[in-house]
Amino acid sequence: MTAALRVADVIRSCWESYNRAHRLPPHVLKAVRHILRCRTAALGGHIHRCDQCGSEVPVYNSCQTRHCPTCQTSAKEKWLDARLAEVLPVQYFHVVFTVPHMLNALIDANRKLLLGELFGVANWVLQRFAHDPQWRLEGQLGFLAILHTWTQRLQQHFHLHCIVPGGVWRAASQEWVPSRGQWLFRKESLCDAFRNRFLQRLCSLRKGGKLAYGGRAASLADDTAWQTLLASLAEQTWIVFPKPTPPDPTQALDYVARYTHKVAIGNSRIKALRDGRVTYSWRDRSEDNVEKTGTIPVAVFTRRFLVHILPDGFHKIRYFGWMAGVSRKAILAAIRKALHVEPPACPELVEGAKAPLAERILRQTGVDIALCPHCGKGHLQRTAQLIMPHRGQSP
């Protein structure tokens, strides 16, 4: 049985020459080193035996790096388990904040700073709307925000996915105020507020001398070029897209989990690797939403993939409002009391959370990771036999 291609196989095929030709930051080099060693003898592992045909299969340890496509299904399931006890029986909303591509070069030169600002601006906008009497809530939102930096073709596209329970918490009166059905805030108003606040923050950062102008952003050090950029951005309609999620808590949680631990491209989308070129699948969401394929040089693929590796210590999932900090558990209990509900909102979810990881992944993705690769019928059972790491192996 031929092993499926992975993102690591594509990068490995050109890594020696690519690494020599490019000056890469330490956090990117470290991430690549982990990705290339993931599920290889370099990390050691265990022998598993098929319960049907008796074949012995080496199963190597994973790297657990957040940018590794091989590790993210397991990481997503663990994250989902942790959220099961927090779901509320209310309408949830999915709000996407998208930064115009005109800012890509400036963000590249100030990755930590401006992506951090993106989180802060989204929180400022949503909380300001939640406290504004015209939207008839007047309380504190709680929500989580997840950063994505890519398109289906691995190009830069900086945006936040925010998952917002539909309602606010009024701490003074210990009251939960629900949003009105399938409606949270007016889309056009969100767009204007997002644009105005982000531009305000950019001007403040520039005035304080906190912006860098390296690489493609070099020309923006000039005041005339800067003012031209600001004028163009001010004329654009910035994109904020709010929509309700499916109403059932089980569906809402699954919907959230799709966005939490994604990497720029998953292993399943790698279709072929030959003659220094990689073929991958992508979905054309701007036109017909049909799956298509593209073929590009492996060096181009590698460059596009690496640009989405975030700096060490940068949190791509963040929590705001009453979801933030150590008070979240106490506030959740108070909200449930106000709603007259008991945790968890959906009992069968807890049973699912206790199932083995392989069962949960099969239920969520349809992929049986324990299936024997030799007979295709039996399942692999872990034995006591260890595989020691090959320390000398390099990516």
pLDDT of residue 340: 95
Query: Residues in the chain with pLDDT < 50?
Result: 1, 345-353, 394
- The candidate with the shortest Cα–Cα distance to 244, out of 289, 194, 324, 179, is 179
> Would you give the distance in Å from CA 112 to the centre of its chain?
16
Would you give the end-to-end CA distance of the chain in angstroms? 24
pLDDT of residue 265: 93
| Mean pLDDT score of the chain | 89
What are the C-alpha distances in Å from 271 to residues 9, 10, 118, 151, 274? 12, 11, 34, 18, 10
pLDDT of residue 349: 46
Tokens of 324: 């933030």
- Give dist(CA 391, CA 395) in Å, integer: 11
Alpha helices in the chain (DSSP H): 7-21, 26-37, 72-84, 104-109, 111-131, 187-207, 223-235, 249-260, 298-306, 328-339, 347-353, 357-365
pLDDT of residue 352: 46
Reported as a single tens digit per residue, the pLDDT across 62-86 is 898 999 988 877 777 778 777 777 8
pTM: 0.89
- Contact (Cβ atoms closer than 8 angstroms) between residue 114 and residue 106: yes
Q: At 349, which amino acid appears? A: L
Reported as a single tens digit per residue, the pLDDT across 172-181 is 999 999 998 8
Q: Which residue has the tokens 């539909």?
A: 166
Q: Which helix (H) or strand (E) holds 64?
A: none
pLDDT of residue 354: 53
- The candidate with the shortest Cα–Cα distance to 197, out of 146, 126, 101, is 126
pLDDT of residue 8: 96
- The candidate with the shortest Cα–Cα distance to 53, out of 391, 392, 373, is 373
Tokens of 77: 């399931």
